[in-house]
Chains A and B, each alone.
Chain A
């Protein structure tokens, strides 16, 4: 439980850091309202949060999903072609897209767990296959139309908050519930911590692995669907820029790359921090190259400052001080 508390502290620190950055950004921005800025950044963060949602479950197992960008593009292209302008078509098209992308993820998971192909190779190959198939089928130019219902997720709001933010919060809450309060969640942590031990303990290692990759596929598909709503269109580059940010958000969020440790809340915090950081650095009127340098340094500093050991040492120091106060001798 101590580990979980550390991870929660880390998530809180990430959100606090993002808020502090936002305050700095609003000082630079002329005429920007803090609330509007926060909503804009949260809406933009939603894509990274959702892709990182799936990536998190795979990394928790000690794996990696390099197919997220291609699967996200596929999800966008499919919904663009199937749903078009018809709201009723979304009723079958969205579940169909999620099912297909989940199946692609499951296939990667099966390759990793049953055929023992390293996750890096399996998902890279899957990503290339999907990207090439999409290119071959569309000839580079996807046909379809963006559904107004999907676009409304970004323009319409509930109590002044864009619907996509509410959706992202709900998804994060659901994921947190799954990883903390369900048998599946416990099994994911157990397998990630020690795969062999989990196997010997009789846990369904292969089934859970396939399921986690399926979740990653479906999450990428969902991000693709949302991107079509945001951009009111689809291109074959739709998911291109979300692979590295999804991994970065997972790592900054505190999920161990070796597996078995980390929380979805931390990942959401990591995604929001990275997006806020990117927007804040944009406020600095300096050349793009230097912006990226600053971006890299800030991420490095955040990783160093937010190491789990830091919380452990702070807690140990506090406990030590209290003990000294109680027993001065």
Chain B
């Protein structure tokens, strides 16, 4: 038989311990809850990958540095965890890198793609998992990705027309192309040739410069050995090399040159002696600022500050004729300046990384070293976002291009 006194005592002890255990459990729950809310209060950091194709090129270095600088500028410095990956020019490698980024829990990938089509399946898989893809300058045809580019803004046709105007519609023109197979090369070349072919007096001789100042200089020198008297040069990236090759021949007569936005080219355009010897031209072209702009756009979408962004956004085409080149005294564009003294940056530096209206956060330090501009905070984008037009192979696959695909926006024909 069980002693009732003992039984009562045992029950009382059990109840006491049970109460204690419940109290302890409640306390743990409460603490856990408090802890949970503390975690919730910690700002969520977006895991963002910066995926680049080639490395070491001035254009891409500035693009990457500007993104890293923006990611370190308040308030993004508290919101973003950024990882840089260089994939090279092999689409398979970039596909593999994208796959790893998706699997590692990326919130977004900002990238310069090496192919418009090869990455599509992987991008679609990423989008389905909630990863945002933002491409800059070169585009992809996967509809879920976002793209910011100058490709459709008409560099080729506008700069070619400016050159034809300078040449009064006749002469031999060196055409310095970009990198074989690059969509940017195809688009700029097609735009330029759409103009040159209208003028029977224009004869073109083309070669590739591989977007490198040194290669362009060497190839232009070879071309000058064979054709010593060109009347003009239409160049994509590497135009500083064109100027150096022309000067190296020791010739007195210089010729009109159009090109992109390297600082050495702008300084040459503004040089009174070179102007007297015949150098004219315009500085335009694709800009590494598309990377920084794309990053800000992406961050505004991630932080729900912006919705309804078109998947293909056109970045405004830079356009600086020789007479508009103005030296900056500070470390960014201000008061209409658009070039830097040679003591501040190299000839290959792309000046159009700066845009006071769109990217006021960037300075020379940001573009060269990837470090934030001291005292700067991110400014919300206020410029109108321009959707890019339909261009087969760039913004759509099997679409109809507008009838005025190569219409001129910056210059009018004078001949």
Interface residues of A, Cβ cutoff 8 Å to B: 25, 28-32, 36-37, 40-41, 43-44, 47, 131, 134-135, 139-143, 154-155, 227, 230-238, 240-241, 275, 278-280, 282-283, 285, 287-288, 291
Contacts and interface: CB of A to CB of B under 8 A. Distances in A.
A282 to B, nearest CB: 5
A41 B225 contact: yes
Interface in B188-229: 203, 205-208, 210, 212-215, 217-219, 221-229
Interface stretch (B37-45, B59-67, B131-139, B316-324): B59-67
Nearest to A40: B225
B218 A240 contact: no
Nearest to B367: A141
Contacts of A231: 213-214, 217, 241, 244
A236 B226 contact: no
Contacts of B203: 285
The range of chain B's interface size is 35 or more
Given A232-B244, A275-B222, A288 B229 contact: no
A29 B227 contact: yes
Contacts of B64: 140
Contact of B225 (A143, A236, A279): A279
Given A141-B368, A141-B369, 9 more contacts: A37-B226, A135-B55, A140-B61, A142-B346, A231-B244, A233-B346, A234-B346, A236-B55, A237-B215
B180 A288 contact: yes
Contacts, number: 137
* Closest CB pairs A-B (n = 5): A140-B61, A236-B56, A283-B226, A279-B222, A40-B225
Interface of A is mostly: helix
A232 B347 contact: yes
A186 B297 CA distance: 66
A141 B225 contact: no
Given A140-B64, A154-B248, A232-B347, A237 B227 contact: no
Best-buried of B205, B214, B248 by chain A (most CB within 10 Å): B214
A25 B226 contact: yes
B283 interface: no
A237 B56 contact: yes
B226 A241 contact: no
A282 B217 contact: no
A135 B244 contact: no
B177 interface: yes
B60 A140 contact: yes
Interface in B368-383: 368-370
Given A139-B369, A241-B215, A233 B264 contact: yes
Interface in B295-335: none
Contact of A30 (B221, B222, B227, B241): B227
Given A139-B61, A140-B60, A141-B349, A31 B229 contact: yes
A233 B244 CA distance: 11
A44 B226 contact: no
Contact of A44 (B61, B180, B218, B369): B218
Contacts of B244: 231-232
Contacts of B214: 227, 230-231, 235, 237-238, 241
Contacts of A40: 221-222, 224-225, 249
Contacts of B409: none
Contacts of A29: 225-228
Given A31-B229, A230-B217, A155 B348 contact: no
Contacts of B215: 237, 240-241
B346 to A, nearest CB: 5
Contact of B222 (A28, A134, A235, A278): A278
A139 B60 CA distance: 11
B118 interface: no
A37 B224 CA distance: 9
18 contacts: A30-B227, A135-B55, A139-B65, A139-B369, A140-B62, A140-B64, A141-B349, A230-B214, A231-B217, A233-B213, A235-B58, A235-B348, A238-B214, A241-B212, A241-B218, A282-B205, A282-B226, A291-B207
Nearest to B61: A140
B55 A44 contact: no
Interface in B28-73: 55-58, 60-62, 64-65
Contacts of A154: 248
A140 B58 contact: yes
B225 A287 contact: no
B58 to A, nearest CB: 6
Contacts of A25: 225-226
Contacts of A241: 210, 212, 214-215, 218
Nearest to A239: B214
B366 to A, nearest CB: 11
Contacts of B347: 232-233
Given A31-B228, A44-B218, A241-B215, A235 B207 contact: no
Contact of B56 (A31, A44, A135, A287): A135
Contacts of A31: 228-229
Contact of A235 (B205, B213, B248, B250): B213
A288 B58 contact: no
Nearest to A41: B225
A233 B241 CA distance: 10
B368 A282 contact: no
A31 B62 CA distance: 41
Interface in B236-288: 240-241, 244, 248-250, 264
Best-buried of B60, B212, B349 by chain A (most CB within 10 Å): B212
Contacts of B180: 288
B222 A140 contact: no
Contact of A32 (B58, B228, B368): B228
A243 to B, nearest CB: 13
Contacts of B177: 288
A132 B218 CA distance: 25
Contacts of A232: 244, 347
A70 B403 CA distance: 47
A304 B224 CA distance: 30
Contacts of A283: 226-227
Contacts of A234: 346
B57 A237 contact: yes
Contacts of A288: 177, 180, 206-208
Contact of B206 (A44, A278, A280, A287): A287
Nearest to B348: A235
A141 B65 contact: yes
Contacts of B55: 135, 140, 236
Contacts of A135: 55-56
B387 to A, nearest CB: 31
